[in-house]
């Protein structure tokens, strides 16, 4: 069959920050998390991630740490002493609440007839990594004469830190962090950003294969999988979320027992790969972009790097 593929191409071999290997599993890691909606909480929520899409031995679920879940004050209401017990404030005074690891600041928005604080707006929610204080909080102020106001804060998720980036993820939506905890009406919403590392021995790219594993192996549809063994230049043992089985590379939309690997040439045209060895790919034209650099049944060198003259790029993750 020609020189077989190097096993490193079967998976990104992500080690994760805790040093947990994934035994050659492919897919991607959770590189970072983007918080879209901060939510409203009075206690710190718990952040977890779903299991990877690829599930072979060694798959690693990404993790976050509550200590790295940064909270910010997103609103405040006046405590018991904010009205009649507080006086001499003016609109624009700055109130500061000191927490275990930071501060939140607020601007006095409205006052009552006695100069007590009625409402405030968030000036700077701050960054609070420690335990969140509950109940009414005494405040300091830059007011000339105002005194006695206390605030009760509501917090939101500011950012989510990654402790272990995991491995085996193929869909960012599936890797989205799950925020659990009682909220006061608005739940936090965050999305994961997937990525791969290229440092050998840490997290290397893997060949992307779309496969429909045999029905006998629980295959029911065409999904992205991971090569776990090479059975020939045209046949690969593949794991998907549905199970593990041997598929044959084809130049068509896959049916049960078939798989496709895609290559791209320097012009951006794509090809089905129907035979793959350590250095060569047998190509069948798929989609043209400007022009094809290779004919159907042509053999080309391949790599994971950007395509160049005479070399195609194999889809990888």
pLDDT tens figures, 138-155: 888 888 888 888 888 889
| Residue 312, pLDDT score | 97
| Residue 100, pLDDT score | 75
Whether 22 shows a pLDDT value over 60: the answer reads: no
165, part of any domain: yes
Averaged confidence pLDDT in the chain: 83
Residues 174 and 219 in one domain: no
| Residue 175, pLDDT score | 84
Whether 13 shows a pLDDT value over 60: the answer reads: no
Whether 21 shows a pLDDT value over 50: the answer reads: no
| Residue 234, pLDDT score | 92
Q: Is the distance from CB of 244 to CB of 213 less than 8 angstroms?
A: yes
Residues 259 and 150 in one domain: no
Q: Please tell me the total count of domains within the chain.
A: 2
Considering 142, 176, 198, which residue would you say is the last residue of a domain?
198
154, part of any domain: yes
Mean pLDDT in residue range 207-222 = 91
3, part of any domain: no
Its domain, for residue 287, covers 209-314
Residues 82 and 221 in one domain: no
| Residue 296, pLDDT score | 97
17, part of any domain: no
Whether 17 shows a pLDDT value over 50: the answer reads: no
DSSP character at residue 130: S
| Residue 54, pLDDT score | 66
185, part of any domain: yes
2, part of any domain: no
Considering 198, 226, 260, which residue would you say is the last residue of a domain?
198
Mean pLDDT in residue range 241-246 = 85
Could you give the CA distance from residue 211 to residue 220 in angstroms, rounded to a whole number?
10
Whether 241 shows a pLDDT value over 80: the answer reads: no
pLDDT tens figures, 77-123: 876 544 445 788 999 999 999 887 788 999 999 988 878 888 899 99
Residues 303 and 193 in one domain: no
| Residue 29, pLDDT score | 79
Q: Indicate the pLDDT class of residue 8, thresholds 50, 70 and 90.
A: low
Whether 299 shows a pLDDT value over 80: the answer reads: yes
Mean pLDDT in residue range 144-171 = 84
Residues 35 and 182 in one domain: yes
Residues 63 and 173 in one domain: yes
134's CB contacts (< 8 A; 6+ apart) are 42, 43
pLDDT tens figures, 42-83: 888 888 888 887 665 456 777 886 555 678 878 778 765 444
Could you give the CA distance from residue 113 to residue 102 in angstroms, rounded to a whole number?
32
Residues 247 and 105 in one domain: no
Percent of the chain past pLDDT 70, that is, above it, reads 83
Q: Indicate the pLDDT class of residue 169, thresholds 50, 70 and 90.
A: confident
Mean pLDDT in residue range 219-233 = 85
195's CB contacts (< 8 A; 6+ apart) are 28, 29, 31, 32
Which among 105, 133, 125 is positioned nearest to 43, based on CA atoms?
133
204, part of any domain: no
Residues 174 and 43 in one domain: yes
| Residue 134, pLDDT score | 80
280, part of any domain: yes
Per-residue buried b or exposed e for 156-174, using 16+ beta carbons within 10 Å of the residue's own CB:
bbbbbebebbbbbbbbeee
Residues 53 and 115 in one domain: yes
| Residue 4, pLDDT score | 72
Residues 123 and 62 in one domain: yes
Residues 183 and 225 in one domain: no
Residues 245 and 275 in one domain: yes
Considering 179, 198, 217, which residue would you say is the last residue of a domain?
198
Mean pLDDT in residue range 117-134 = 86
């Amino acid at each position: 069959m020609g020189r077989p593929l190097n096993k490193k191409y079967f998976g990104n071999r992500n080690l994760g920050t805790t040093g947990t290997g994934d035994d050659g599993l492919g897919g991607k890691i959770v590189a970072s998390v983007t918080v879209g909606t901060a939510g409203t909480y009075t206690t710190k929520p718990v952040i977890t991630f779903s299991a990877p899409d690829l599930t072979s031995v060694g798959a690693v679920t990404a993790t976050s740490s509550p200590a790295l879940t940064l909270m910010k004050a997103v609103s405040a209401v006046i405590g018991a002493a904010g009205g009649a017990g507080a006086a001499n404030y003016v609109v624009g005074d700055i109130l500061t609440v000191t927490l275990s690891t930071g501060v939140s600041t607020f601007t006095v928005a409205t006052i009552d007839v006695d100069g007590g604080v009625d409402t405030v707006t968030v000036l700077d929610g701050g960054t609070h990594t420690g335990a969140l204080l509950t109940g009414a909080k005494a405040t300091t102020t830059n007011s000339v004469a105002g005194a006695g106001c206390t605030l009760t804060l509501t917090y939101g998720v500011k950012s989510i830190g990654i402790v272990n980036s995991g491995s085996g993820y193929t869909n960012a939506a599936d890797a989205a962090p799950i925020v659990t905890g009682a909220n006061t009406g608005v739940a936090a919403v965050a999305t994961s950003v997937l990525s791969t590392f290229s440092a050998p021995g840490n997290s290397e790219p893997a060949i992307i294969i779309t496969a429909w594993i045999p029905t006998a192996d629980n295959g029911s549809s065409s999904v992205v999988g991971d090569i776990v063994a090479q059975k020939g230049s045209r046949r690969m043992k593949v794991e998907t979320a549905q199970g593990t089985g041997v598929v044959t590379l084809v130049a068509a939309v896959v049916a049960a027992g078939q798989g496709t690997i895609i290559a791209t040439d320097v012009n951006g045209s794509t090809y089905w790969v129907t035979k793959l060895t350590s250095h060569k790919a047998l190509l069948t034209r798929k989609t043209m972009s400007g022009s094809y650099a290779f004919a159907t049944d042509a053999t080309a060198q391949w790599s994971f790097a950007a395509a160049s003259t005479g070399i195609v790029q194999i889809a990888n993750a």
